[in-house]
Chain A
Protein backbone atom coordinates (compact mmCIF):
# COMPACT_ATOMS: atom_id res chain seq x y z
CA UNK A 1 0.00 0.00 0.00
CA UNK A 2 1.36 3.40 -0.96
CA UNK A 3 0.20 6.35 1.09
CA UNK A 4 0.20 9.94 -0.13
CA UNK A 5 1.70 12.84 1.76
CA UNK A 6 -1.27 13.80 3.94
CA UNK A 7 -2.30 10.24 4.83
CA UNK A 8 1.28 9.45 5.79
CA UNK A 9 1.29 12.05 8.55
CA UNK A 10 -0.83 9.73 10.70
CA UNK A 11 2.09 7.31 10.82
CA UNK A 12 4.73 9.98 11.20
CA UNK A 13 4.03 11.11 14.80
CA UNK A 14 7.31 9.86 16.35
CA UNK A 15 9.40 11.84 13.88
CA UNK A 16 7.19 14.93 14.18
CA UNK A 17 7.46 14.78 17.98
CA UNK A 18 11.25 14.61 17.81
CA UNK A 19 11.25 17.54 15.38
CA UNK A 20 9.09 19.55 17.79
CA UNK A 21 11.38 18.52 20.63
CA UNK A 22 14.44 19.86 18.81
CA UNK A 23 12.77 23.24 18.29
CA UNK A 24 11.55 23.42 21.89
CA UNK A 25 14.98 22.59 23.28
CA UNK A 26 16.65 25.23 21.10
CA UNK A 27 14.06 27.85 22.08
CA UNK A 28 14.23 27.05 25.79
CA UNK A 29 18.02 27.10 25.58
CA UNK A 30 18.11 30.69 24.35
CA UNK A 31 15.15 32.09 26.28
CA UNK A 32 15.21 30.48 29.73
CA UNK A 33 18.52 31.53 31.24
CA UNK A 34 18.24 30.08 34.74
CA UNK A 35 15.88 27.18 34.19
CA UNK A 36 17.35 25.72 31.03
CA UNK A 37 19.76 23.38 32.82
CA UNK A 38 16.79 21.63 34.42
CA UNK A 39 14.25 22.00 31.65
CA UNK A 40 16.28 20.91 28.62
CA UNK A 41 16.95 17.32 29.76
CA UNK A 42 13.31 16.97 30.80
CA UNK A 43 12.10 18.26 27.43
CA UNK A 44 14.44 15.89 25.62
CA UNK A 45 13.37 12.93 27.74
CA UNK A 46 9.69 13.81 27.25
CA UNK A 47 10.13 14.02 23.47
CA UNK A 48 11.92 10.66 23.32
CA UNK A 49 9.38 8.94 25.59
CA UNK A 50 6.45 10.37 23.67
CA UNK A 51 8.00 9.28 20.39
CA UNK A 52 8.54 5.80 21.83
CA UNK A 53 4.93 5.72 22.99
CA UNK A 54 3.62 6.61 19.53
CA UNK A 55 5.96 4.13 17.87
CA UNK A 56 4.56 1.36 20.05
CA UNK A 57 1.04 2.55 19.21
CA UNK A 58 1.65 2.27 15.47
CA UNK A 59 -0.40 -0.43 13.85
CA UNK A 60 1.75 -3.52 13.37
CA UNK A 61 -0.55 -4.88 10.70
CA UNK A 62 0.30 -4.31 7.07
CA UNK A 63 3.51 -3.04 5.60
CA UNK A 64 3.19 0.14 3.58
CA UNK A 65 5.20 2.98 2.15
CA UNK A 66 4.78 6.57 3.27
CA UNK A 67 5.21 9.86 1.40
CA UNK A 68 4.87 8.44 -2.11
CA UNK A 69 7.32 5.61 -1.56
CA UNK A 70 10.00 7.56 0.32
CA UNK A 71 9.72 5.64 3.57
CA UNK A 72 8.79 2.01 4.18
CA UNK A 73 6.79 1.35 7.31
CA UNK A 74 7.08 -2.33 8.17
CA UNK A 75 7.75 -4.38 11.29
CA UNK A 76 11.46 -4.29 10.54
CA UNK A 77 11.43 -0.50 10.70
CA UNK A 78 9.29 -0.53 13.84
CA UNK A 79 11.81 -2.79 15.58
CA UNK A 80 14.62 -0.37 14.80
CA UNK A 81 12.58 2.65 15.79
CA UNK A 82 11.91 1.16 19.22
CA UNK A 83 15.54 0.09 19.50
CA UNK A 84 16.93 3.52 18.56
CA UNK A 85 14.56 5.45 20.82
CA UNK A 86 15.43 3.21 23.79
CA UNK A 87 19.12 3.75 23.00
CA UNK A 88 18.52 7.50 22.85
CA UNK A 89 16.77 7.51 26.23
CA UNK A 90 19.49 5.43 27.89
CA UNK A 91 22.26 7.64 26.51
CA UNK A 92 20.44 10.79 27.56
CA UNK A 93 20.15 9.45 31.12
CA UNK A 94 23.80 8.40 31.04
CA UNK A 95 24.95 11.83 29.90
CA UNK A 96 23.19 13.73 32.69
CA UNK A 97 25.76 13.03 35.42
CA UNK A 98 28.86 12.93 33.26
CA UNK A 99 31.76 15.14 34.35
CA UNK A 100 33.07 15.36 30.79
CA UNK A 101 29.93 17.01 29.46
CA UNK A 102 29.27 19.01 32.61
CA UNK A 103 32.18 21.33 31.78
CA UNK A 104 30.54 22.63 28.60
CA UNK A 105 27.14 24.11 28.00
CA UNK A 106 24.70 21.27 27.34
CA UNK A 107 21.82 22.94 25.50
CA UNK A 108 23.05 22.05 22.02
CA UNK A 109 23.91 18.56 23.17
CA UNK A 110 20.29 17.72 23.85
CA UNK A 111 19.12 19.26 20.57
CA UNK A 112 21.80 17.30 18.71
CA UNK A 113 20.83 14.08 20.46
CA UNK A 114 17.25 14.54 19.32
CA UNK A 115 18.36 15.41 15.78
CA UNK A 116 20.58 12.36 15.47
CA UNK A 117 17.77 10.15 16.79
CA UNK A 118 15.40 11.65 14.23
CA UNK A 119 17.93 10.94 11.49
CA UNK A 120 18.31 7.34 12.61
CA UNK A 121 14.56 6.75 12.65
CA UNK A 122 14.38 7.99 9.07
CA UNK A 123 17.38 5.82 8.17
CA UNK A 124 15.65 2.68 9.44
CA UNK A 125 12.60 3.60 7.37
CA UNK A 126 14.05 4.80 4.12
CA UNK A 127 13.08 2.97 0.95
CA UNK A 128 14.37 5.50 -1.55
CA UNK A 129 17.99 6.36 -2.31
CA UNK A 130 17.44 10.09 -1.78
CA UNK A 131 15.89 9.47 1.64
CA UNK A 132 18.63 7.00 2.47
CA UNK A 133 21.34 9.52 1.63
CA UNK A 134 19.65 12.44 3.41
CA UNK A 135 18.98 10.52 6.62
CA UNK A 136 22.48 9.07 6.63
CA UNK A 137 23.93 12.57 6.28
CA UNK A 138 21.65 13.91 9.02
CA UNK A 139 23.00 11.25 11.37
CA UNK A 140 26.60 11.78 10.24
CA UNK A 141 26.65 15.58 10.44
CA UNK A 142 25.14 15.67 13.91
CA UNK A 143 27.43 12.94 15.21
CA UNK A 144 30.51 14.79 13.87
CA UNK A 145 29.49 17.73 16.04
CA UNK A 146 28.74 15.53 19.04
CA UNK A 147 32.19 13.92 18.81
CA UNK A 148 33.86 17.33 18.77
CA UNK A 149 31.65 18.64 21.53
CA UNK A 150 34.52 19.37 23.94
CA UNK A 151 35.78 22.38 21.99
CA UNK A 152 38.88 23.09 24.02
CA UNK A 153 39.93 19.45 24.24
CA UNK A 154 42.59 18.43 21.76
CA UNK A 155 41.55 14.78 21.59
CA UNK A 156 37.90 15.58 21.00
CA UNK A 157 38.78 17.97 18.16
CA UNK A 158 41.13 15.54 16.54
CA UNK A 159 38.58 12.73 16.77
CA UNK A 160 35.94 14.92 15.19
CA UNK A 161 38.29 15.93 12.35
CA UNK A 162 39.14 12.32 11.56
CA UNK A 163 35.50 11.33 11.77
CA UNK A 164 34.30 13.96 9.32
CA UNK A 165 37.05 13.28 6.78
CA UNK A 166 36.48 9.51 6.80
CA UNK A 167 32.74 10.03 6.82
CA UNK A 168 32.68 12.49 3.97
CA UNK A 169 34.83 10.28 1.75
CA UNK A 170 32.88 7.09 2.39
CA UNK A 171 29.49 8.72 1.92
CA UNK A 172 30.87 10.31 -1.24
CA UNK A 173 31.90 6.88 -2.52
CA UNK A 174 28.48 5.53 -1.60
CA UNK A 175 26.84 8.36 -3.51
CA UNK A 176 28.91 7.58 -6.59
CA UNK A 177 27.71 3.98 -6.29
CA UNK A 178 24.12 5.21 -6.08
CA UNK A 179 24.58 7.30 -9.21
CA UNK A 180 25.83 4.25 -11.13
CA UNK A 181 22.92 2.21 -9.84
CA UNK A 182 20.57 4.95 -11.02
CA UNK A 183 22.17 4.81 -14.42
CA UNK A 184 21.74 1.04 -14.57
CA UNK A 185 18.14 0.89 -13.44
CA UNK A 186 16.72 4.32 -14.14
CA UNK A 187 15.16 4.56 -10.71
CA UNK A 188 15.95 5.69 -7.18
CA UNK A 189 13.22 3.66 -5.51
CA UNK A 190 14.70 0.51 -3.94
CA UNK A 191 11.89 -1.78 -5.03
CA UNK A 192 11.84 -0.37 -8.56
CA UNK A 193 15.61 -0.89 -8.67
CA UNK A 194 15.12 -4.52 -7.75
CA UNK A 195 12.46 -5.01 -10.40
CA UNK A 196 14.65 -3.36 -13.02
CA UNK A 197 17.62 -5.55 -12.09
CA UNK A 198 15.47 -8.66 -12.26
CA UNK A 199 14.11 -7.69 -15.66
CA UNK A 200 17.51 -7.46 -17.32
CA UNK A 201 20.28 -10.00 -17.74
CA UNK A 202 23.17 -8.81 -15.56
CA UNK A 203 26.16 -9.85 -17.62
CA UNK A 204 29.25 -8.31 -19.16
CA UNK A 205 29.57 -4.57 -18.67
CA UNK A 206 26.50 -4.45 -16.44
CA UNK A 207 28.03 -7.06 -14.16
CA UNK A 208 31.21 -5.01 -13.73
CA UNK A 209 29.11 -1.96 -12.91
CA UNK A 210 27.05 -3.90 -10.38
CA UNK A 211 30.23 -5.14 -8.67
CA UNK A 212 31.41 -1.54 -8.52
CA UNK A 213 28.06 -0.45 -7.08
CA UNK A 214 28.21 -3.12 -4.36
CA UNK A 215 31.79 -2.22 -3.41
CA UNK A 216 31.13 1.54 -3.34
CA UNK A 217 27.90 1.33 -1.35
CA UNK A 218 29.48 -1.12 1.09
CA UNK A 219 31.97 1.66 1.81
CA UNK A 220 29.14 3.90 3.00
CA UNK A 221 27.36 1.28 5.09
CA UNK A 222 30.66 -0.17 6.32
CA UNK A 223 31.62 3.26 7.60
CA UNK A 224 28.42 3.58 9.60
CA UNK A 225 28.66 0.06 11.04
CA UNK A 226 32.47 0.30 11.53
CA UNK A 227 33.14 -2.88 9.53
CA UNK A 228 36.62 -3.73 8.25
CA UNK A 229 38.10 -2.28 5.97
CA UNK A 230 36.18 0.91 6.74
CA UNK A 231 36.88 0.88 10.47
CA UNK A 232 40.02 3.05 10.64
CA UNK A 233 38.20 6.00 12.14
CA UNK A 234 36.60 3.94 14.86
CA UNK A 235 39.28 3.49 17.57
CA UNK A 236 40.48 7.10 17.33
CA UNK A 237 37.00 8.60 17.29
CA UNK A 238 35.76 6.42 20.14
CA UNK A 239 38.78 7.33 22.25
CA UNK A 240 38.57 11.06 21.61
CA UNK A 241 34.83 11.59 21.90
CA UNK A 242 33.13 12.29 25.24
CA UNK A 243 32.29 8.87 26.75
CA UNK A 244 28.46 9.17 26.61
CA UNK A 245 28.80 10.06 22.92
CA UNK A 246 31.09 7.07 22.38
CA UNK A 247 28.53 4.81 24.04
CA UNK A 248 25.89 6.25 21.74
CA UNK A 249 27.99 5.86 18.58
CA UNK A 250 28.89 2.28 19.40
CA UNK A 251 25.24 1.25 19.54
CA UNK A 252 22.71 3.47 17.82
CA UNK A 253 24.20 4.65 14.48
CA UNK A 254 25.72 1.19 14.15
CA UNK A 255 22.29 -0.41 14.45
CA UNK A 256 20.83 2.12 12.01
CA UNK A 257 23.68 1.30 9.63
CA UNK A 258 22.75 -2.38 9.81
CA UNK A 259 19.11 -1.47 9.16
CA UNK A 260 19.92 0.30 5.89
CA UNK A 261 22.46 -2.35 4.94
CA UNK A 262 19.77 -5.02 5.21
CA UNK A 263 17.23 -2.82 3.48
CA UNK A 264 19.57 -2.01 0.61
CA UNK A 265 20.99 -5.46 0.01
CA UNK A 266 17.93 -7.57 0.83
CA UNK A 267 15.28 -5.10 -0.25
CA UNK A 268 17.10 -3.71 -3.26
CA UNK A 269 19.51 -6.32 -4.56
CA UNK A 270 17.79 -9.64 -3.83
CA UNK A 271 14.38 -11.15 -4.15
CA UNK A 272 12.46 -13.24 -1.65
CA UNK A 273 11.83 -16.83 -2.66
CA UNK A 274 10.07 -18.88 -0.02
CA UNK A 275 11.89 -18.91 3.30
CA UNK A 276 15.07 -17.62 1.73
CA UNK A 277 16.31 -14.66 -0.24
CA UNK A 278 17.88 -15.24 -3.59
CA UNK A 279 20.35 -12.59 -4.64
CA UNK A 280 20.24 -11.08 -8.06
CA UNK A 281 22.51 -12.99 -10.36
CA UNK A 282 25.68 -11.39 -11.60
CA UNK A 283 27.56 -10.92 -8.37
CA UNK A 284 27.97 -13.10 -5.33
CA UNK A 285 27.70 -10.26 -2.84
CA UNK A 286 26.84 -12.48 0.15
CA UNK A 287 30.33 -13.95 -0.18
CA UNK A 288 31.77 -10.41 -0.15
CA UNK A 289 29.85 -9.67 3.03
CA UNK A 290 30.89 -12.98 4.64
CA UNK A 291 34.52 -12.03 3.99
CA UNK A 292 33.88 -8.59 5.49
CA UNK A 293 32.24 -10.18 8.53
CA UNK A 294 35.13 -12.60 9.14
CA UNK A 295 37.73 -9.86 8.74
CA UNK A 296 35.77 -7.49 10.97
CA UNK A 297 35.49 -9.77 13.97
CA UNK A 298 39.01 -11.19 13.67
CA UNK A 299 40.71 -7.84 13.34
CA UNK A 300 38.57 -6.26 16.06
CA UNK A 301 39.31 -8.99 18.56
CA UNK A 302 43.03 -9.27 17.83
CA UNK A 303 43.58 -5.51 17.99
CA UNK A 304 41.64 -5.32 21.27
CA UNK A 305 44.04 -7.77 22.94
CA UNK A 306 46.83 -5.25 23.41
CA UNK A 307 44.84 -2.15 24.36
CA UNK A 308 45.37 -0.57 27.75
CA UNK A 309 42.93 2.29 27.32
CA UNK A 310 39.44 1.06 28.23
CA UNK A 311 37.69 3.22 25.65
CA UNK A 312 40.01 2.07 22.89
CA UNK A 313 39.59 -1.55 23.90
CA UNK A 314 35.81 -1.23 23.86
CA UNK A 315 36.09 0.46 20.46
CA UNK A 316 37.85 -2.56 18.99
CA UNK A 317 35.42 -4.83 20.82
CA UNK A 318 32.52 -3.00 19.17
CA UNK A 319 34.17 -3.55 15.78
CA UNK A 320 34.30 -7.27 16.57
CA UNK A 321 30.63 -7.26 17.56
CA UNK A 322 29.76 -5.61 14.24
CA UNK A 323 31.29 -8.73 12.67
CA UNK A 324 29.04 -11.04 14.69
CA UNK A 325 25.96 -8.98 13.83
CA UNK A 326 26.88 -9.07 10.15
CA UNK A 327 27.01 -12.88 10.38
CA UNK A 328 23.23 -12.92 10.74
CA UNK A 329 22.58 -10.48 7.91
CA UNK A 330 24.60 -12.27 5.21
CA UNK A 331 22.80 -15.60 5.54
CA UNK A 332 19.83 -14.32 3.51
CA UNK A 333 17.35 -16.23 5.65
CA UNK A 334 14.60 -15.19 8.00
CA UNK A 335 16.38 -17.04 10.82
CA UNK A 336 19.58 -15.12 10.15
CA UNK A 337 17.79 -11.79 10.14
CA UNK A 338 16.04 -12.67 13.37
CA UNK A 339 19.33 -13.71 14.98
CA UNK A 340 20.77 -10.34 13.98
CA UNK A 341 17.88 -8.50 15.63
CA UNK A 342 18.20 -10.54 18.83
CA UNK A 343 21.95 -9.91 18.93
CA UNK A 344 21.49 -6.17 18.41
CA UNK A 345 18.95 -6.03 21.20
CA UNK A 346 21.19 -7.67 23.81
CA UNK A 347 24.20 -5.75 22.48
CA UNK A 348 22.36 -2.52 23.27
CA UNK A 349 22.24 -3.29 26.98
CA UNK A 350 25.63 -4.93 27.45
CA UNK A 351 27.65 -2.41 25.48
CA UNK A 352 25.91 0.68 26.86
CA UNK A 353 26.41 -0.83 30.32
CA UNK A 354 30.14 -1.32 29.85
CA UNK A 355 30.62 2.20 28.49
CA UNK A 356 28.50 3.59 31.27
CA UNK A 357 30.69 2.03 33.96
CA UNK A 358 33.67 3.65 32.21
CA UNK A 359 31.85 7.01 32.36
CA UNK A 360 31.11 6.62 36.07
CA UNK A 361 34.69 5.69 36.90
CA UNK A 362 36.00 8.62 34.86
CA UNK A 363 33.76 10.98 36.84
CA UNK A 364 35.82 10.49 39.97
CA UNK A 365 39.12 9.06 38.72
CA UNK A 366 39.67 11.08 35.48
CA UNK A 367 41.27 8.14 33.76
CA UNK A 368 40.58 5.50 31.13
CA UNK A 369 43.76 3.50 31.71
CA UNK A 370 43.41 -0.13 32.72
CA UNK A 371 46.08 0.12 35.48
CA UNK A 372 43.99 2.69 37.31
CA UNK A 373 41.15 0.19 37.57
CA UNK A 374 43.20 -1.87 40.03
CA UNK A 375 41.44 -2.54 43.30
CA UNK A 376 38.11 -1.24 42.05
CA UNK A 377 36.33 -4.13 43.73
CA UNK A 378 37.43 -2.99 47.18
CA UNK A 379 36.53 0.61 46.43
CA UNK A 380 33.11 -0.02 44.94
CA UNK A 381 31.96 -3.64 44.87
CA UNK A 382 28.76 -2.68 43.07
CA UNK A 383 30.60 -1.06 40.17
CA UNK A 384 33.05 -3.94 39.82
CA UNK A 385 30.29 -6.55 39.86
CA UNK A 386 28.22 -4.54 37.37
CA UNK A 387 31.19 -4.19 35.00
CA UNK A 388 31.91 -7.92 35.34
CA UNK A 389 28.34 -8.79 34.39
CA UNK A 390 28.45 -6.50 31.34
CA UNK A 391 31.78 -7.98 30.25
CA UNK A 392 30.67 -11.59 30.80
CA UNK A 393 27.60 -10.74 28.77
CA UNK A 394 29.81 -9.35 25.99
CA UNK A 395 31.82 -12.59 26.00
CA UNK A 396 28.60 -14.62 25.82
CA UNK A 397 28.84 -16.58 29.05
CA UNK A 398 25.55 -18.49 29.65
CA UNK A 399 23.63 -16.91 32.50
CA UNK A 400 23.78 -13.49 30.87
CA UNK A 401 21.99 -11.99 27.89
CA UNK A 402 24.99 -11.99 25.56
CA UNK A 403 24.80 -15.76 25.42
CA UNK A 404 21.33 -15.50 23.94
CA UNK A 405 22.62 -13.35 21.09
CA UNK A 406 25.54 -15.67 20.31
CA UNK A 407 23.23 -18.70 20.51
CA UNK A 408 20.85 -17.28 17.92
CA UNK A 409 23.63 -16.12 15.58
CA UNK A 410 25.64 -19.35 15.64
CA UNK A 411 22.43 -21.38 15.47
CA UNK A 412 21.35 -19.55 12.32
CA UNK A 413 24.78 -19.98 10.74
CA UNK A 414 24.89 -23.73 11.49
CA UNK A 415 21.33 -23.99 10.17
CA UNK A 416 22.68 -22.95 6.79
CA UNK A 417 25.45 -25.55 6.94
CA UNK A 418 28.20 -22.92 7.06
CA UNK A 419 30.17 -24.80 9.73
CA UNK A 420 33.50 -23.10 9.06
CA UNK A 421 31.84 -19.69 9.42
CA UNK A 422 30.40 -20.70 12.80
CA UNK A 423 33.80 -22.07 13.83
CA UNK A 424 35.53 -18.77 12.99
CA UNK A 425 32.90 -16.99 15.09
CA UNK A 426 33.37 -19.34 18.04
CA UNK A 427 37.18 -19.02 17.91
CA UNK A 428 36.77 -15.27 17.88
CA UNK A 429 34.53 -15.39 20.92
CA UNK A 430 37.24 -17.36 22.72
CA UNK A 431 39.90 -14.77 21.83
CA UNK A 432 37.57 -12.01 22.99
CA UNK A 433 37.14 -13.69 26.37
CA UNK A 434 40.82 -12.99 27.06
CA UNK A 435 40.71 -9.22 26.94
CA UNK A 436 37.36 -8.90 28.68
CA UNK A 437 38.61 -11.14 31.49
CA UNK A 438 41.74 -9.00 31.72
CA UNK A 439 39.64 -6.00 32.74
CA UNK A 440 37.88 -8.10 35.36
CA UNK A 441 41.23 -9.32 36.66
CA UNK A 442 42.45 -5.75 37.11
CA UNK A 443 39.25 -4.68 38.83
CA UNK A 444 38.84 -7.61 41.19
CA UNK A 445 42.11 -9.45 41.75
CA UNK A 446 44.83 -6.81 41.54
CA UNK A 447 45.13 -4.32 44.33
CA UNK A 448 47.40 -1.36 44.72
CA UNK A 449 49.07 -0.34 47.95
CA UNK A 450 46.87 2.67 48.57
CA UNK A 451 44.12 2.20 51.17
CA UNK A 452 40.79 1.74 49.36
CA UNK A 453 38.79 4.96 49.32
CA UNK A 454 35.14 4.35 48.51
CA UNK A 455 34.07 5.62 45.10
CA UNK A 456 31.15 8.02 45.11
CA UNK A 457 28.41 7.36 42.56
CA UNK A 458 25.36 9.58 42.19
CA UNK A 459 21.96 8.01 42.82
CA UNK A 460 20.87 8.59 39.22
CA UNK A 461 23.89 6.69 37.96
CA UNK A 462 23.25 3.76 40.33
CA UNK A 463 19.65 3.63 39.15
CA UNK A 464 20.70 3.67 35.51
CA UNK A 465 23.26 0.92 36.08
CA UNK A 466 20.59 -1.23 37.70
CA UNK A 467 18.28 -0.46 34.78
CA UNK A 468 20.97 -1.73 32.40
CA UNK A 469 21.81 -4.76 34.56
CA UNK A 470 18.24 -6.04 34.71
CA UNK A 471 17.92 -6.98 31.00
CA UNK A 472 21.41 -8.48 31.05
CA UNK A 473 20.44 -10.86 33.85
CA UNK A 474 16.77 -11.49 33.17
CA UNK A 475 16.59 -11.72 29.36
CA UNK A 476 17.84 -15.28 29.46
CA UNK A 477 14.84 -16.25 31.59
CA UNK A 478 12.25 -14.16 29.78
CA UNK A 479 13.53 -14.65 26.28
CA UNK A 480 10.26 -15.72 24.70
CA UNK A 481 8.84 -12.16 24.28
CA UNK A 482 12.09 -11.17 22.56
CA UNK A 483 11.87 -14.27 20.41
CA UNK A 484 8.30 -13.44 19.39
CA UNK A 485 9.02 -9.77 18.85
CA UNK A 486 12.05 -10.35 16.64
CA UNK A 487 10.30 -13.15 14.74
CA UNK A 488 7.58 -10.62 14.00
CA UNK A 489 10.06 -7.94 13.04
CA UNK A 490 11.71 -9.66 10.11
CA UNK A 491 8.95 -8.73 7.72
CA UNK A 492 10.43 -6.28 5.26
CA UNK A 493 8.31 -4.27 2.89
CA UNK A 494 8.30 -6.10 -0.43
CA UNK A 495 10.06 -9.01 1.19
CA UNK A 496 9.43 -12.17 3.20
Chain B
Protein backbone atom coordinates (compact mmCIF):
# COMPACT_ATOMS: atom_id res chain seq x y z
CA UNK B 1 0.00 0.00 0.00
CA UNK B 2 1.24 3.48 -0.84
CA UNK B 3 2.23 5.38 2.27
CA UNK B 4 0.42 8.50 3.45
CA UNK B 5 3.47 10.71 3.09
CA UNK B 6 3.49 10.39 -0.70
CA UNK B 7 -0.01 11.81 -0.87
CA UNK B 8 0.99 14.67 1.38
CA UNK B 9 4.06 15.37 -0.73
CA UNK B 10 2.03 15.45 -3.93
CA UNK B 11 -0.56 17.71 -2.34
CA UNK B 12 2.15 20.10 -1.06
CA UNK B 13 3.63 20.09 -4.57
CA UNK B 14 0.21 20.84 -6.10
CA UNK B 15 -0.35 23.64 -3.61
CA UNK B 16 2.99 25.24 -4.44
CA UNK B 17 2.33 24.83 -8.15
CA UNK B 18 -1.04 26.52 -7.73
CA UNK B 19 0.42 29.46 -5.82
CA UNK B 20 3.20 29.75 -8.41
CA UNK B 21 0.61 29.78 -11.21
CA UNK B 22 -1.48 32.43 -9.48
CA UNK B 23 1.53 34.67 -8.94
CA UNK B 24 3.11 34.37 -12.38
CA UNK B 25 0.23 34.09 -14.87
CA UNK B 26 -1.22 37.26 -16.39
CA UNK B 27 -4.17 35.59 -18.08
CA UNK B 28 -7.24 35.53 -15.80
CA UNK B 29 -8.25 32.03 -16.90
CA UNK B 30 -4.79 30.66 -16.12
CA UNK B 31 -4.92 32.25 -12.67
CA UNK B 32 -8.21 30.45 -12.09
CA UNK B 33 -6.54 27.17 -13.03
CA UNK B 34 -3.94 27.87 -10.35
CA UNK B 35 -6.75 28.38 -7.85
CA UNK B 36 -8.19 25.00 -8.84
CA UNK B 37 -4.84 23.36 -8.13
CA UNK B 38 -4.80 24.92 -4.65
CA UNK B 39 -8.30 23.67 -3.90
CA UNK B 40 -7.52 20.19 -5.19
CA UNK B 41 -4.37 19.98 -3.12
CA UNK B 42 -6.54 20.55 -0.06
CA UNK B 43 -8.97 17.91 -1.32
CA UNK B 44 -6.18 15.39 -1.75
CA UNK B 45 -5.03 16.07 1.81
CA UNK B 46 -8.51 15.66 3.21
CA UNK B 47 -9.21 12.40 1.41
CA UNK B 48 -5.78 10.95 2.19
CA UNK B 49 -6.02 11.78 5.90
CA UNK B 50 -9.49 10.35 6.04
CA UNK B 51 -8.44 7.14 4.23
CA UNK B 52 -5.32 6.49 6.30
CA UNK B 53 -6.74 7.06 9.75
CA UNK B 54 -9.55 5.53 11.71
CA UNK B 55 -11.45 8.76 12.32
CA UNK B 56 -14.31 8.22 9.89
CA UNK B 57 -15.14 9.78 6.56
CA UNK B 58 -15.45 13.42 7.62
CA UNK B 59 -12.58 14.38 5.36
CA UNK B 60 -14.06 12.73 2.29
CA UNK B 61 -17.38 14.44 2.96
CA UNK B 62 -15.58 17.79 3.24
CA UNK B 63 -13.82 17.11 -0.07
CA UNK B 64 -17.17 16.54 -1.81
CA UNK B 65 -18.40 19.90 -0.52
CA UNK B 66 -15.21 21.59 -1.67
CA UNK B 67 -15.56 20.15 -5.17
CA UNK B 68 -19.12 21.47 -5.45
CA UNK B 69 -18.24 24.93 -4.11
CA UNK B 70 -15.19 25.09 -6.40
CA UNK B 71 -17.44 24.46 -9.38
CA UNK B 72 -19.75 27.28 -8.28
CA UNK B 73 -16.79 29.57 -7.72
CA UNK B 74 -15.39 28.93 -11.19
CA UNK B 75 -18.82 29.54 -12.70
CA UNK B 76 -18.99 32.96 -11.05
CA UNK B 77 -15.35 33.72 -11.87
CA UNK B 78 -15.77 32.84 -15.55
CA UNK B 79 -18.90 35.00 -15.74
CA UNK B 80 -16.89 37.90 -14.35
CA UNK B 81 -14.04 37.18 -16.79
CA UNK B 82 -16.60 37.25 -19.60
CA UNK B 83 -18.08 40.62 -18.61
CA UNK B 84 -14.56 42.00 -18.18
CA UNK B 85 -13.75 40.75 -21.69
CA UNK B 86 -16.81 42.55 -23.07
CA UNK B 87 -15.59 45.82 -21.58
CA UNK B 88 -11.83 45.47 -22.10
CA UNK B 89 -11.60 43.09 -25.09
CA UNK B 90 -8.90 41.16 -23.25
CA UNK B 91 -8.53 38.85 -20.26
CA UNK B 92 -4.99 40.01 -19.53
CA UNK B 93 -4.88 41.17 -15.92
CA UNK B 94 -2.19 43.77 -16.62
CA UNK B 95 -4.75 45.65 -18.69
CA UNK B 96 -7.18 45.82 -15.76
CA UNK B 97 -5.28 48.59 -14.04
CA UNK B 98 -7.57 51.62 -14.02
CA UNK B 99 -8.04 51.40 -10.27
CA UNK B 100 -4.33 51.49 -9.42
CA UNK B 101 -3.08 55.01 -9.29
Contact = CB atoms under 8 A, between A and B. Distances in A.
Contacts of B77: 144, 164-165, 168
Interface in A133-185: 133-134, 137, 141, 144-145, 148, 151-155, 157-162, 164-165, 168-169, 172-173, 175-176, 178-180, 182-183
Contacts of A159: 99
B42 A161 contact: no
B83 A134 contact: no
A63 interface: no
B87 A152 contact: yes
A88 interface: no
A130 interface: yes
A152 B11 CA distance: 40
A182 B99 contact: no
Contact of B98 (A141, A145, A154): A154
Interface string A9-35: 000000000000000000000000000
Interface in A173-220: 173, 175-176, 178-180, 182-183, 186-188
A162 B58 contact: no
B81 A175 contact: no
Contacts of A164: 73, 76-77, 80
Given A148-B80, A165-B28, A175 B39 contact: yes
Interface string B60-101: 011001100100110011001101100110000100111110
B53 interface: yes
A74 interface: no
B99 A155 contact: yes
B42 A179 contact: yes
A154 B76 contact: no
B83 to A, nearest CB: 5
B66 A133 contact: yes
Contact of B99 (A137, A151, A158, A187): A158
A157 B22 CA distance: 19
A213 to B, nearest CB: 12
A172 B55 contact: no
A168 B37 CA distance: 11
A126 interface: no
Contacts of A157: 80, 83-84, 87-88, 96
Given A148-B83, A165-B77, 19 more contacts: A137-B72, A137-B73, A145-B76, A148-B80, A157-B80, A158-B98, A160-B84, A161-B80, A162-B96, A162-B99, A165-B32, A169-B35, A176-B15, A176-B38, A179-B11, A179-B49, A182-B58, A182-B59, A183-B8
Interface of A: 129-130, 133-134, 137, 141, 144-145, 148, 151-155, 157-162, 164-165, 168-169, 172-173, 175-176, 178-180, 182-183, 186-188, 235-236, 239-240
The 3 closest A-B pairs by CB, nearest first: A172-B38, A179-B45, A186-B55
